[in-house]
Structure 1
Amino acid sequence: MPRTTYQPVPLTQPTAEQPVIVHLRLPPPNAIIRRHRHTWGQISFPLRGSMRVTAAGTTWVVPTMRAVWIPPEVEHEVVTLGETALHACYVLPAASPLPLTTCSVLEVSALMRHLMVALADSVPLSPRHRQLSAALLLEELRAAPTLWPGLALPTDRRLKALCDALMEEPGSALSLAQWAERTGASERTLARLFRTELRTSFAAWRQQLRLAHAVDLINRGRPLAHVAAETGYANAGAFSTMFRRALGKAPRDFMAHRADE
């Protein structure tokens, strides 16, 4: 899938006087913010749509009401999935309530969402209001539940080519033998690399990827038949069985829960 490189601006650095800065980003559909790093921590939060964040050898598919914490000096890349609007929340390391060495996915509360909207550059606030909102946002970040760990990524170029292609097309039905023909490695070699580099199998890694994309599609309100087709399942029934086994609830129950949030 062709992607448009997006360079977000401004990059206002947080300070002791203003330890939290929030920018609203409106990238083009299917854009990529290429690998970079900065001296502050960052919360990436899709206000609309979803994104894929890669950092520290791991990738996360992040729908609305979820956010990724990226500590200072950690190289990361952001890919928007379709039409997306997102908030980039910069946090001064000295003020951070989150670990400065570990990335994580956080659940975004309704209050956290409203505070980020209020602090975004497009919304003028009095200095007192901004200080109070920033302090409360830091407390919300401290209390936010940590969610799924994300998908580990390989370093071997052949396995990386396979994983990158699957992330672009999670519903691909190609077998490991067929991927071997495309990557220039034998099926046995790829299977071994999955075990040694990612501590899992090809089938298990692909299922976790599909599950992450399914959660994204469900979050967008897509019909179950569409979700099943996009994630490589023959029908909604087969997809529902996988989903229930993995998350402990049926997709319809998950959708009802998301509607209540």
Structure 2
Amino acid sequence: MTTPPTRPAEISHGAGWLAHGFHIDVHSHRDGQLVYPASGVLATTTERGTWVAPANRVTWTPPGFEHSHRFYGRTDVRLVVIPEPLCGALVAHPGVFAVNPLLREALLTLTERQDASSGAYQRLRAVVIDELVEAPDQSLHLPEPRDDRLRVVTELLRADPARSETLTELGRTAGASGRTLSRLFRDEFGMSFHRWRTILRIHHALIELTNGRSVTDTAIACGWSNPTSFIEAFTAVVGQTPGRYQAGLRGGQ
């Protein structure tokens, strides 16, 4: 059963465990916000699309962006507020960034401290900002389409990521040729159809693995023809194998 949505005020700076399916409704912040799932998976959605973060990523939402959150698996969530005057050092749009060992420990330490006004806290927060400036953007981002024909295709695939039709075949439902849709993917999303579908499948794979599904069953459920091709794609996008990712989940419990 999906946990009902919560008001934003029910989640504040710090650390806490959230149940699978926990949802925070659309809201915005005066300041910037980092949300780090130390275990579990976080999906953050804005009008620009959806960003997914497993435990080796941290999400960044600048001030003023309306967004919502959904958590998959039992999630150890860590929230750090970045005061608006300090946000200029970070990118001006939502994103997801790689978490190296130093950044992970800094985020864990910050969210276990209560006094955000102390000098030690502010110095450690400055370290986090410096690390994020240098961290690669690894967004696992699925943009939202503007074109109605593109929206038909993306909704079909979101409903069933394992669909194997070609873009030309999907275009028959959308009323557009494969060539037109290919151009739309590049113009609107800045990526190929193949890349977009791979990221979509990785989104679903992260959720399946977090819920304890085997690597082989996850590969089949998400549309890969065999576990080897799934492992290669997952490793290229997430930065670790599906097996290592699941082992990390068990280690964090």
TM-score normalised according to structure 2 size: 0.73
Deviation at 1:55, TM superposition (A): 3.2
Question: 1:86-101 counterparts in 2 under 5 A?
Answer: 86-96=77-87, 98-99=89-90, 101=92
Question: 1:1-261 counterparts in 2 under 5 A?
Answer: 4-10=4-10, 21-22=13-14, 24=16, 26=18, 28-55=19-46, 57-96=48-87, 98-99=89-90, 101-108=92-99, 109-119=103-113, 125=114, 127=115, 130-144=118-132, 145-149=135-139, 150-164=141-155, 166-167=157-158, 169-176=160-167, 179-180=170-171, 184-188=174-178, 189-214=180-205, 223-243=214-234, 246=236, 251=241, 255=245
The aligned amino acid for 2:190 is: R
Deviation at 1:213, TM superposition (A): 4.3
Deviation at 1:236, TM superposition (A): 1.1
> Where do 5+ consecutive residues of structure 2 fail to align?
none
Q: Tell me if the contact between 1:228 and 1:235 (Cα under 8 Å) persists in the aligned partners.
A: yes
Q: Tell me if the contact between 2:16 and 2:76 (Cα under 8 Å) persists in the aligned partners.
A: yes
CA 1:242–1:47: 2 relative to 1, 3 Å: closer
Identity of aligned residues (%): 23
The number of aligned residues is 244
Higher helix share: 2
Q: Tell me if the contact between 1:104 and 1:146 (Cα under 8 Å) persists in the aligned partners.
A: no
> Where do 5+ consecutive residues of structure 1 fail to align?
13-20, 120-124
CA 1:70–1:238: 2 relative to 1, 3 Å: same
Deviation at 1:47, TM superposition (A): 3.1
Deviation at 1:44, TM superposition (A): 1.4
Deviates more, 1:35-44 or 1:196-205: 196-205
Deviation at 1:78, TM superposition (A): 1.8
> 3-state SS of the aligned residue for 1:147?
coil
Please tell me the root mean square deviation across aligned C-alpha atoms, in Å: 3.9
